[in-house]
Structure 1
Amino acid sequence: MTTRVPVERLRLIADGWERVRRPDTLAVEEPLEIRAAGQVVTVTMRTPGADIDLVHGYFLAEGIIADAAGIRSARYCAGAVATGPDGREQNTYNVIDVDLTEPARAAAGLSRTALSTSACGVCGSASIDAIRDRLPPPLAGPRAQVTAGIVADLMRRVGAGQENFERTGGLHAAALADAGGSIHALAEDVGRHNAVDKVIGAGLRAGLLPRADAVLLVSSRASFEIVQKAAMAGISIIAVVSAPSSLAVETAAALGLTLIAFARGDRCNVYSGFDRVAD
């Protein structure tokens, strides 16, 4: 997930600029090509690791599968090779082929091939309306509550669990938790949408989703895509460190989700689903 590179650090001191060369740790960013029965579905720039979880989360969000059983198998392609430092060919682990259980259902979801980057999770969409049409109806069932104190504690623990962010300063984090304060999955990635896909995929594979009291925590802002992914996974509570977009708030409210933003330290703002957040 990380790599070391040389860097020159310049610092202004009393008699001029001091220049020091030292190693620095960076977050790795590499492409992951996702295929279904050999057909390219998408290429996303991600931080390697938890790729199978990422695939499950992505396919669920796109409506290609309905649950973990929708993927019969997922494997790295043996033919995806590159020349390593020793001159030998080695697997890049950057291409995954998925065998889907329900080809007919998958065909509709696969009709839109997207190119996602670490900066934008919905590139390639014909329009926002095209994505909005795939969203499920408002979540039904009992409305679980979470306290503001638990949200603050979860955010603190997610921050403390960002091992690679501490080393690089260049990774987003996402976590899947419950309203009781337990964290079930945590992932880091250069793309916040990839980190979200990874924890949703982990929860899906573990049989934890959908879940009425599930909480999605993200160490960045709340965008439309984050709300969409949570809704498709059956997550009713979202908490983020930074600001929400107007469309994220509008979508969360329309779908009956609770959206909490600016969740930092001893404060947070609730933008929708106010009744789910207790004092």
Structure 2
Amino acid sequence: MDIATLPAADGADTFCEGARLLPVHGVRGGEAYAVQDWVAEEVPVALEFNGISHAVMLATPLDLEDFALGFSLSEGILDHAHELYAVETGESELGITVRLQVSSAAFARLKQRRRTIAGRTGCGLCGTESLAHVSRELPVLADPAGPLERQAIARAMLQVQSLQTLQQATGAVHAAAWCSADGEVQWLREDVGRHNALDKLIGALANNDVDASAGFIAVTSRASFEMVQKTAMAGVPLLAAVSAPTSFAVATAERARLTLVGFARKDDLAVYSHPGRLAAAGYGAH
């Protein structure tokens, strides 16, 4: 969501987009209960490029045009958003199909990669045909105009938590948010898959001509290799995650000159690569 158009929370009791109201039975505090509760939607979403099926992901059926564009950019299928000519979605009993019309150059890149993905909840590596397709060439990120304050990350993570309307209703989704350099959340997307949430965010930034390099991304998940790779592909110089990174993620961040922050909780954080982008933190630059 664009934070300027965030819906009021009052309607959460009567309608929650991206979730279904289902009967739930359980025991709490030794007492049995039966209630109607919101459960996050998870459906197969197929991405077709110029009529050719390329990927099937399990995703929350929200912001699918952003998802299609963000996935195409972060996976290197599109070099620029203007290479995407049209997006159409269609539903069937089996799931949702998103049909993209892309430029001939982009379609040629797609065919050259010969990559077919069958993803579990945003797992973007399942089905990769060779090890050479896993780690690809990444842009080397330039430093922003000035160093980021540590407090900006703490401010952003606090805002992300309060703005996760679907997570508050269901307890089952991740969020990815783009934040200004002073830590104000400007754009946020949610999904059952952490990679999907990030792709949706990247697509929203591209669709709205946001200078992604002017801020940073905050996520409510661990920082896996693909989260770092997608952030670098979007041109964002810092990724802050509420949980830990992996060693492959740290190595990828070092290679792309991306500042990788983990365990970003309240005023605490751990910096795993290029700490020089954070001001007044007592870190030395790599």
For the aligned pair, the TM-score class normalised by the smaller chain equals 0.7 to 0.9
Alignment match, 1:88: none
Contiguous gaps of at least 5 residues in structure 1: 83-91
SS at structure 1 position matched to 2:48? strand
Assess, with a 3 A threshold, how the Cα gap between structure 1 residues 52 and 93 changes in structure 2: closer, same or farther.
farther
Cα RMSD (Å):
1.8
> Whose Rg is larger?
1
In the alignment, what sits opposite 2:243? 242
Q: How many percent of aligned residue pairs carry the same amino acid?
A: 36
In the other structure, the counterpart of 1:233 is 234
Letter in 1 for 2:22: V
User: 1:85 aligns to what?
Assistant: none
Aligned to 2:42: 29
Over 3 Å counting, the alpha-carbon distance change for 1:179 and 1:12 in structure 2 is closer
Structure 1 residue 107 displacement after superposition: 2.1
Correspondence for 2:9: none
Against the structure 1 CA distance between its residues 107 and 267, is the aligned structure 2 distance closer, same or farther, given a 3 Å change threshold? same
Question: Does 1:40 find its partner at 2:40?
Answer: no
Q: Structure 2: which 5+ runs fail to align? A: 1-17, 281-286
User: How far, CA to CA, are the matches of 1:267 and 1:142 in structure 2?
Assistant: 22
What letter is aligned with 1:10? V
Rounded to whole Å, the distance in 1 between the matches of 2:118 and 2:56 is 5
Contact in 2 for aligned 1:213/1:237 (Cα 8 Å): no
**Residue 217 of structure 2 corresponds to residue 216 of structure 1:** yes
For the 8 Å contact 1:135–1:232, the answer to whether it is kept is no
1:49 and 2:43 correspond:
no
Identify which of 99, 102, 111 aligns with 1:100.
Answer: 102
- CA separation of 1:108/1:273 partners in 2, compared to 1, >3 Å: closer, same or farther? same
Displaced runs of 4+ in structure 1, greater than 6 A? none
Code of the residue aligned with 1:70 in structure 2: it is E
Query: Amino acid of the residue matched to residue 151 of structure 1?
Result: I
State the TM-score, normalizing by the size of structure 2.
0.86
**In 2, Cα distance between equivalents of 1:228 and 1:253:** 11
Residue 182 of structure 1: CA displacement?
3.2
Residue identity matched to 1:105: A
Against the structure 1 CA distance between its residues 265 and 127, is the aligned structure 2 distance closer, same or farther, given a 3 Å change threshold? farther
Matched, 1:121 2:138: no
The separation in 1 between residues aligned to 2:138 and 2:146, in whole angstroms, is 19
- In the TM superposition, residue 109 of structure 1 has moved relative to its aligned partner by 2.6
Report the counterpart of residue 32 of structure 2 in structure 1: 19
In structure 2, the CA distance between the partners of 1:43 and 1:227, relative to structure 1 (3 Å rule), is: same
Distance 1:156 1:12, change over 3 A: closer
How far apart are residue 212 of structure 1 and its match? 2.9
Which residue of structure 1 lines up, in the alignment, with residue 199 of structure 2?
Answer: 197
Counterpart secondary structure, 1:187: strand
Aligned length: 261
- Superposition pairs of residues 30-179 of structure 1, within 5 angstroms: 30-77=43-90, 80-82=91-93, 94-101=96-103, 103-110=104-111, 111-118=114-121, 120-132=123-135, 134-140=136-142, 142=144, 144-179=146-181
Code of the residue aligned with 2:27 in structure 1: it is L
Q: Structure 2: how far apart are the matches of 1:154 and 1:147?
A: 11
Say if 2:143 and 2:237, in contact at 8 Å, map to a contact too: no
Q: Once the 2 structures are TM-superposed, how far is the Cα of residue 251 of structure 1 from its aligned partner?
A: 0.6
Q: How far is 1:11 from its partner?
A: 3.5
Secondary structure at 1:124's aligned position in 2? coil
